[in-house]
Structure 1
Amino acid sequence: MKIKNCYAIVALLCLWVSIAAAQTIPSPKSFFGFNIGDDYQLTNYAKSAEYFKKLAAASNRTKLVDIGLTEEGRHQYMMIISSPANIKNLAQYKDISQKLARAEGLSDQQARALAAKGKAVVWIDGGLHATEVVGAHQLIETTYQLISRKDPETMRILDNVIILMTHANPDGMELVSNWYMKDSDPKKRNLNIPRLYEKYIGHDNNRDFYMMNTKESTNMNHQLFLEWFPQIMYNHHQRGPEGSVLAGPPYRDPFNYVFDPLMITGIDALGAAMYSRLNTENKPGYTRLTGSSFSTWYNGGLRTTTQFHNMIGLLTEIIGGPTPENIPVVPQRLIPNGATPNPVLPQSVWHFRQSIDYSVSLNYAVLDYAARQHDEVLFNIYRMGKNAIERGNEDHWTLSPKRSEAITKAYKSDQKDTSKRAGASAGEGNPDDPMGWSTRGNNIPIKYYDSVLKNPELRDPRGYILPADQPDFPTATKFINALIKAGIQVNKATAEFTVAGKKYPAGSYIVKTAQAFRPHVLDMFEPQDHPNDFLYPGGPPIKPYDAAGWTLAFQMGVHFDRILDNFNGPFQRIPYGQLQSPAKQTIAVTPGAGYLLSSQINNAFIAVNDLLKAGVEVYRLPKGAAGMSETGTFFVPARGNAKAVLAKAADKLGVKATGIAQRPANAVKISSMRIALWDMYGGSIPSGWIRWIMEQYHFAYDVVYPQDVDAGNLHSKYDVIIFVTRGIPPIGGERINRNSLFGDREPKPEDTPAEFKNRLGKITAEKSIPQLKAFLEDGGSIVTIGSSTNLAYHLGLPVHNALVEKNSKNEDKPLPGTKYYVPGSILSVTVDPTIPAAWGMNNVADIDFDNSQVFKLDSNAAEKGVRPIAWFATDKPLRSGWAWGQSYLKDGVAAFVAPVGKGELYAFGPEITFRAQSHGTFKLLFNQLYSTSK
């Protein structure tokens, strides 16, 4: 009996030892060999993932989740942290979070009960922009502290919050850290990486979150909008404005007009918690509001897309890195004000660890707020969702600058005495009362408000219908999938139906606005109305944080109808997250001479490339054919593997193959071209996006660098070369689209590993342009996009900048920003679809325009064979965004083709492949990638 008791005691002791061992949390230093934040030290993703696995095995406060593979095939991990009791009941708390976020069928009383029962969910990420190394490393340090600490604040956080610690860019961390640590001499370590730190897109990985072209953005959005629905998300970035330590919430105006005000005030509350904590801990240097450039206008970023889903999206941009730096003297930053209440003093040395400590403090501020206010943040996301559903079910008008201006215009048009100041405070500005505080004597009668904001024709739609019989329904399906991946509720018609007197076929998609994420729905369909934003009246424009307008349905060329009244039909609700495949199409059983493919369908180019690779002949019909009249229709003779390839395209790509009895006249045979795509050391983001597009649409290509161009003999290797923005330098003061995302990161040759030396260099007028001219004269084609259309000036073509004015010396000078300014927006252009470059396009197209090149053709241009492809036919081309002085664009040429020797130069001023989102203009690139012969 005593022996048995001894065995029991020993067993119990072993169990206690086992439990104690399991709860021994390895510190970062014990695992990595250095403290997180030590100068000149970085860890890579492989080691950090290994560390997270050890933490998950050692702590019952954690659950490590693999959220998917990256573009380079790594596992992307999310560490869930909470109390042991909460970890055991994650499914229950996730269900509560989902129900409250979607707000479907809940009363306020039920929502409050769920909020009281639930746990706040907070997302914290790091490493999205991989050269901003603080983000990934603060993630490691914060995770360790949350798992190992036992102080009252940490325990309160663990009891009341579920924390989603997510690495945003594993591939980038592996590249950047390995590159930095490759030098044994710490003083030589640098971040001059040779390629983009996320495959294809680099810095634009924070511009992909409404589109989700990449695996990483898809992985994270699945957790955000289909799984966990965090009420608060915190996105860590660098770099803080000079003379400060960091920029954070709240942000400067404008904020997007579709937001629920609770989202904006939620940002205010969290911002107060964050900078108050830093002040309490004697950590100065936090700037906000007008102290930085960040706003809440743009959708598409990791934190900004969440804001359109009623989540309190937070961003901080902090200084620091493993190589010590300084805080410079910026006198205007030293003055305490509302934007920077507690300025930081200049410092000769700022250490990496200081930035890590600031980041951990900021994380704890957010988590402590969520812990103390967990029921409030849970209920508020429900309230925002419920508000959205109610607005979608009733007549509602979204406020915007154009609506405000319309009220003033309506009032003024009725006034006989136009000299009166009446109405000034409502739109045109009163110098004696710039804020419009006093309205005595100039009140506008309410009927003018009613004429605009109660006008039935101007109200928000109840929903949108995407007809299944539109020309490029496969692309419309891709648009629908972007919505579905963002957690939007979509319906599909199971039979033909009629709404507002119009018949729609079965298979059409329906997106109603009476849903919790209505702000995102409106933002994807409706034009953005960015305010006129100037530093002061008559002063220079204030650059938007990113784009001013981006309406995705416009970018993708999707046809849809806005339905203003409530409507129903034979609609089947698609389960949340269930992606749609293109509608299966038919292939002619007895094709006769062959098959016709519509040139209006982008996916047809995939089928054509597959046919050419299979050795099947393909032709194009300049004027179309009977029953398929669009220019550039594809004709495929019924021979060889044609039927098998087309059957697959019909089944998987939604490309219909129509039979034709006789071979069409005037068919032009096409062949694949040897395609070169320009890139540079460090990686060009626009070039990377084209790589993604080319791979999606099955075009083969080579990447070339300036040294390859300078070596000459290009026509022996390539038939067409593509240059994107920043490829070709400017000439003689001609206007250039400067994108601040692309810096001159090129290192010295002696500091560059041998395998990357061939990427060094730039396109120059002295060496490169003569080789490109010779390539064209030998019969090659060059496609230039954005600022690379500068090549036209280098070649002396009969075109010049349309956006100029004469100065006092009668010289052409670019229009100043006070007269003309069009930051990233969507404009409408007229297109000539009879030109081969624009085959398959409609007569009018929406294009992405970012202060882009616009041309005027010289009087002898036509005589020299220069043909416009697209131009601005009106003085009001703005479709979405901000266009100050847009009347200057009228009659300007946006795109043209010009002969150079035996070859042709294609110049597209707008960004026709913008972030792989502008599907509506992809054909303007694709058409140039085939050679033709009779």
Structure 2
Amino acid sequence: MNKILSFIWIFLVISIADLKAQQIDQDYVQKIKEFTTDDKFLPASLLDIVDHPTVPSPLKHFGHIIGTEGIVHRTSEIYGYYQKLAETSPLVHMQEMGLTEEGRKFYLIVIGNQESMDRLEHYKGQLAKLADARKTSPEQAEAIILDSKPVYYVSAGMHATEMGAPEMLMELAYRLATSEAGDIKAIRENVITVINPVSEPDGWDKQVDWYFRHTKGREKFDDGFPRSAPYWGKYVFHDNNRDGLQVSQEITKSIFKGFFEFHPTVMLDLHESVPLLYISTGTGPYNDFVDPITQSEWQVMANHDVAEVSAQGMPGAFTWAFYDGWWPGYGIWVANNHNSNGRFYETYGNAGADTYLRDYSTSRFAGDLASSKEWYRPYPASPLVYWSFRNNINYTQVGVIASLYYAATNSQLLLRNFYKKGFNSLEKGKNEGPKAFIIAKEQRDPAMVAYLANQLRVQGIEVHENEEAFVILSEQPYRNLAVSLLTPQAYPKEAKYPPYDAIAWTLPYLYGVEVEAKEDIDFDVSALRLMVSDAVYKGKLAGEGNTYVLPYHAQNTVLPALYWIKGQNRNAEISVLTGSTVVSGDTLPAGSIVFRRINANQASQMAQDFGLDFRAISTSIPADQQKAVNLPRVAIYHTWYNTQDEGWSRYTFDQRGIPYTSIDKDFLKAGALKSKFDVIILPRVRGNAKNFVNGVDKKFGPMPYTKTAEFPSHGFPASTSDMTGGPGFGGIENLRKFVEEGGLLISFDNTSAILAELGIASELSPVNTSGLFHPGSIVRAKVRKTDHPVLYGYPETFPIFRGNGPLLQTDKYNRDLMLVQYGHQPLKDEVPFEGQILGLPEDMKTEKAEKSEEKTPPYVVAGMVRNEQEIVGHGSVFNLPVGRGSVLAFTFDPLHRYLNHHDAPMVWNALINWDRLK
């Protein structure tokens, strides 16, 4: 009650104050000028910041303005300021949206005029009606639009080194709450602005500590010193903006929650990279399943914003020449995937609050110099700029205000487009194929079938079911997204510019689940029930006996089940069948797991908890047909210069419930690795052997990453007193000894090339290709050693996900080291010679091989590969004996971004059978 009265009093005070001319905060204005390095970077529209009598500006709250040299704020300070705005202005609302992996809070800030705030739930309800054309006819939509306001969602701080926007948004929020300037007033009255102030709070606090601890005050920007903390989130670094299909990280879950609560008409994500201000449209090709209305909105809004920035005399704003518009897995693409509009900015940033002379004279985008005058860059900046933190804030803020003003003056158009896109998707579901997708529940890995159904539901796609299958009916508002996720992508080979990211994401192939596309509805739709909660596959236990058998089909949950049962019952005996075996009249495939000395309750619980089907048997299995499973002690290695992909590996292991130890250079240098671990995994890292051996340049040391009272966010998820240096050649030698003494070393993607460079995987050599271009696509692989334990549960051919990783090969006499190859055709040097071999008798002439009538399936399943003949036949997975141990080298990443779950069981197979891969 007291808060309501205080709001009434504040509102009266504001109303009285607004009758008079608003006072400009001259101190604030003077500081803006002081920290802006050039008048061309100083927009006049930002020099009218209000000196409000009751709502504190950043200057009054912090004692300094936003953009002050050498000052950035931790999340507690940022949230504290928004809390103060919410306490002093009835036009600002602050709400929690969940917790990060480390327990920090996510918040959204909602700003509008008094009428908007009073009717906020009403307006959210109106947008929800417009989002579903099944419930709202075109005539009803027109009436709703007249009683609606667009929600414009602005987010910042997803990438922690991009430090301008989270600071800028505090100043923008103050302007939106207090200013009576014409454009701000129009925004406040006609738009509901939703601000995500710090998208990744964990990473932001780590980076702020990093700035104050290590980079503040450095004389040069390009001096080789790491500008970023080694970690942002607990698991995911820059790829936190590549999680929009998996929705695995808490940051993504928060973004999705905000979208489905508010149904924003536009979402704008603020980033920093290219000079001076890029406003997204992209070079194309655009995603096939984004409505043409959205694609047109990108153009109109981008050109509007560029024009507004240029109109203020500010050079360097541009569009088009950066990014493409194809990959649908960015965080902000929750909007584009759901009939809204997702956009982003890239402002030039210094990874902190210092001022530097920046030289981008050689930078090119879409082939053109970044400082050249082009149709998409009407007013370029000079190729060298003296660039400050405040310059960054000026550019981003002017652009955002321009975009918000566009929404304010085109609100009905944006709302009508929002409805029309959902209507179009629904009509396509009615009139175009496929009309439905059927996912049979009984498949080789039923738990992954349930997982696919749940992932579709996370995306807002409606899933129905009956006893036999999950069913996705196309006649629904997010039909386009469903088709995009469930059918192969065909990236155009003739695209002029390289793609910005991966180009294939067909979930059935990535998950190893069969999905049937139905062109007609030939089943009883009324018999289906809509899923309202997640599917859970609970495995079954059948048969009688005290031995339990798991038929193996490379299910993803088998290895965690083994660790679980050993944790429950230390006396449990586990073995694996080394070949196809007939048991009680049934044929069990190689890799099937046999359990003894466990009871029926444990077997039943394991079946239910891990989604696995067991058989109890009373017959014995010959000892020579099975091998005891010795579950390994696993380590996952991380460098201190690149933690991106090891984070995804750790996340995958944690999600699967597979125990591991995270290790770094100091473990390698200490040696005695085999006494501590049985398996060491080397996830993909950037760079080459030199980077791997030497790590961060020691001239910058010591560089601690430890938790202290002054820097409390550091030391997690790993800690070191000095990040500089690498394992050195001594550590590499210890890694070699680990393998020679019987350990298994598993390498992903370019770490396989690094091991080849270092001589640990000496049989592997790089392959020089001519024009091979292999962006992230789903391609076919063929098994060469069908009886090898790494391939248990896999058919002879299967799809894998591969990007532009290394291509490696062995000499011809060593081809038995190759377990899997890319594509179906052999290498040229493996094609049998046809004809007379000189020196041999005529009757030993080689017979001409009979050509198979069966057509060879294409290499590319989804995506695109140029000059694929350069890779087909080369090795995909190698097993290399080294001493008493072995190296298992993948030339792709089988744990890529928690997406390619069908590839992962090759790793699980290696761990189950780690001591018999030679």
Name the TM-score, length of structure 2 as normaliser. Answer: 0.83
The whole-number CA distance in structure 1 between the counterparts of 2:812 and 2:438 is: 46
Q: Is the 8 A contact 2:133 2:423 kept in 1?
A: yes
Residue in 1 that maps onto 2:493: 532
Residue in 2 that maps onto 1:828: 780
The whole-number CA distance in structure 1 between the counterparts of 2:721 and 2:5 is: 64
Answer yes or no: is 1:260 the counterpart of 2:308: no
Residue in 1 that maps onto 2:38: none
The structural deviation recorded for 1:341 is 0.6
In structure 2, relative to structure 1, the CA distance for the partners of 1:489 and 1:323 (3 Å cut) is same
Deviates more, 1:95-104 or 1:21-30: 21-30
What SS class does the counterpart of residue 472 from structure 2 fall into? strand
Residue in 1 that maps onto 2:607: 650
In structure 2, relative to structure 1, the CA distance for the partners of 1:573 and 1:855 (3 Å cut) is same
What SS class does the counterpart of residue 630 from structure 2 fall into? strand
In structure 2, relative to structure 1, the CA distance for the partners of 1:932 and 1:281 (3 Å cut) is closer
Select the residue among 77, 88, 91 that pairs with 2:121.
91
The structural deviation recorded for 1:298 is 0.9
Q: Is the 8 A contact 2:202 2:232 kept in 1?
A: yes
Residue in 1 that maps onto 2:32: none
The whole-number CA distance in structure 1 between the counterparts of 2:317 and 2:235 is: 34
Q: Alpha-carbon deviations, 1:107-146, whole Å to 9, x = none?
A: 2211111111111011100000011111322222222221
Answer yes or no: is 1:199 the counterpart of 2:269: no
What SS class does the counterpart of residue 101 from structure 2 fall into? coil
What SS class does the counterpart of residue 326 from structure 1 fall into? strand
The whole-number CA distance in structure 2 between the counterparts of 1:83 and 1:206 is: 32
Return the letter of the residue paired with 1:659: A
In structure 2, relative to structure 1, the CA distance for the partners of 1:593 and 1:328 (3 Å cut) is closer
Q: Is the 8 A contact 1:548 1:823 kept in 2?
A: yes
What SS class does the counterpart of residue 750 from structure 1 fall into? coil
Q: Alpha-carbon deviations, 1:712-757, whole Å to 9, x = none?
A: 22112211111122278359xxxx9x9xxx9969871134457524
Residue in 2 that maps onto 1:63: 93
Return the letter of the residue paired with 2:640: Y
The whole-number CA distance in structure 2 between the counterparts of 1:672 and 1:210 is: 32
Select the residue among 596, 602, 613 that pairs with 1:637.
596
Answer yes or no: is 1:464 the counterpart of 2:437: yes
Answer yes or no: is 1:619 the counterpart of 2:598: no
Residue in 1 that maps onto 2:405: 368
The whole-number CA distance in structure 2 between the counterparts of 1:776 and 1:382 is: 60
Answer yes or no: is 1:899 the counterpart of 2:874: no
Residue in 2 that maps onto 1:688: 647
The whole-number CA distance in structure 1 between the counterparts of 2:697 and 2:88 is: 42
Answer yes or no: is 1:547 the counterpart of 2:502: yes
Q: Is the 8 A contact 1:670 1:930 kept in 2?
A: yes
Return the letter of the residue paired with 2:819: P
Select the residue among 407, 419, 424 that pairs with 1:387.
424
Residue in 1 that maps onto 2:152: 122
The structural deviation recorded for 1:161 is 1.3
Answer yes or no: is 1:337 the counterpart of 2:296: no
Select the residue among 639, 652, 676 that pairs with 2:635.
676
Q: Alpha-carbon deviations, 1:61-92, whole Å to 9, x = none?
A: 12212111111111110111112221122222
The whole-number CA distance in structure 1 between the counterparts of 2:864 and 2:82 is: 45
* 1:779-798 equivalence runs, <5 A: 779-790=742-753, 791-792=755-756, 794-795=758-759
What SS class does the counterpart of residue 479 from structure 1 fall into? helix
The whole-number CA distance in structure 1 between the counterparts of 2:498 and 2:653 is: 32
* 1:273-292 equivalence runs, <5 A: 273-290=304-321, 292=322
The structural deviation recorded for 1:849 is 0.9
In structure 2, relative to structure 1, the CA distance for the partners of 1:820 and 1:592 (3 Å cut) is same
* 1:204-603 equivalence runs, <5 A: 204-224=239-259, 226-240=260-274, 244-290=275-321, 292=322, 294-321=323-350, 322-328=353-359, 330=361, 332-395=369-432, 460-493=433-466, 495=467, 505=468, 508-533=469-494, 542-570=497-525, 578-588=532-542, 590-596=544-550, 598-603=552-557
Deviates more, 1:121-130 or 1:751-760: 751-760
Residue in 1 that maps onto 2:48: none
Return the letter of the residue paired with 2:554: Q
Q: Is the 8 A contact 1:393 1:566 kept in 2?
A: no
What SS class does the counterpart of residue 738 from structure 2 fall into? helix
Return the letter of the residue paired with 1:583: Y
Q: Alpha-carbon deviations, 1:475-512, whole Å to 9, x = none?
A: 1222222221111111112x4xxxxxxxxx2xx11112
Q: Alpha-carbon deviations, 1:642-664, whole Å to 9, x = none?
A: 54444334334322222122242
In structure 2, relative to structure 1, the CA distance for the partners of 1:916 and 1:743 (3 Å cut) is farther
Return the letter of the residue paired with 1:898: L
The whole-number CA distance in structure 2 between the counterparts of 1:87 and 1:841 is: 57
Return the letter of the residue paired with 1:198: G
What SS class does the counterpart of residue 319 from structure 2 fall into? strand
The whole-number CA distance in structure 1 between the counterparts of 2:258 and 2:95 is: 11
Residue in 1 that maps onto 2:865: 883
Return the letter of the residue paired with 2:557: N
Q: Alpha-carbon deviations, 1:508-565, whole Å to 9, x = none?
A: 1111222222222122112211112465xxxxxx331111222222111121111112
Residue in 2 that maps onto 1:912: 894
Select the residue among 44, 66, 72 that pairs with 1:42.
72
The whole-number CA distance in structure 2 between the counterparts of 1:689 and 1:255 is: 27
What SS class does the counterpart of residue 255 from structure 1 fall into? coil
In structure 2, relative to structure 1, the CA distance for the partners of 1:647 and 1:12 (3 Å cut) is closer
Q: Is the 8 A contact 1:678 1:727 kept in 2?
A: no
Residue in 1 that maps onto 2:137: 107
The structural deviation recorded for 1:253 is 1.5
What SS class does the counterpart of residue 441 from structure 2 fall into? coil
Deviates more, 1:11-20 or 1:624-633: 11-20
Q: Alpha-carbon deviations, 1:830-874, whole Å to 9, x = none?
A: 235521112222332221211223343323216xx6252444214
Unpaired runs of 5+ in structure 1? 1-10, 396-459, 496-504, 536-541, 804-813
The structural deviation recorded for 1:32 is 2.6
The structural deviation recorded for 1:185 is 6.8
What SS class does the counterpart of residue 50 from structure 1 fall into? helix
In structure 2, relative to structure 1, the CA distance for the partners of 1:746 and 1:177 (3 Å cut) is farther
In structure 2, relative to structure 1, the CA distance for the partners of 1:929 and 1:349 (3 Å cut) is same
Residue in 2 that maps onto 1:924: 906
Q: Alignment length, in residue pairs?
A: 810
Unpaired runs of 5+ in structure 2? 15-51, 363-368, 707-718, 826-855
In structure 2, relative to structure 1, the CA distance for the partners of 1:617 and 1:870 (3 Å cut) is farther
The structural deviation recorded for 1:758 is 4.9
In structure 2, relative to structure 1, the CA distance for the partners of 1:613 and 1:195 (3 Å cut) is farther
Deviates more, 1:342-351 or 1:683-692: 342-351
What SS class does the counterpart of residue 471 from structure 1 fall into? coil
Residue in 2 that maps onto 1:455: none
The whole-number CA distance in structure 1 between the counterparts of 2:336 and 2:743 is: 47
The whole-number CA distance in structure 1 between the counterparts of 2:603 and 2:680 is: 29
Select the residue among 182, 192, 200 that pairs with 1:169.
200
Residue in 2 that maps onto 1:407: none
Return the letter of the residue paired with 1:716: S
Q: Is the 8 A contact 1:392 1:514 kept in 2?
A: yes
Select the residue among 561, 578, 587 that pairs with 1:607.
561
The structural deviation recorded for 1:914 is 0.5
Q: Is the 8 A contact 1:694 1:700 kept in 2?
A: yes
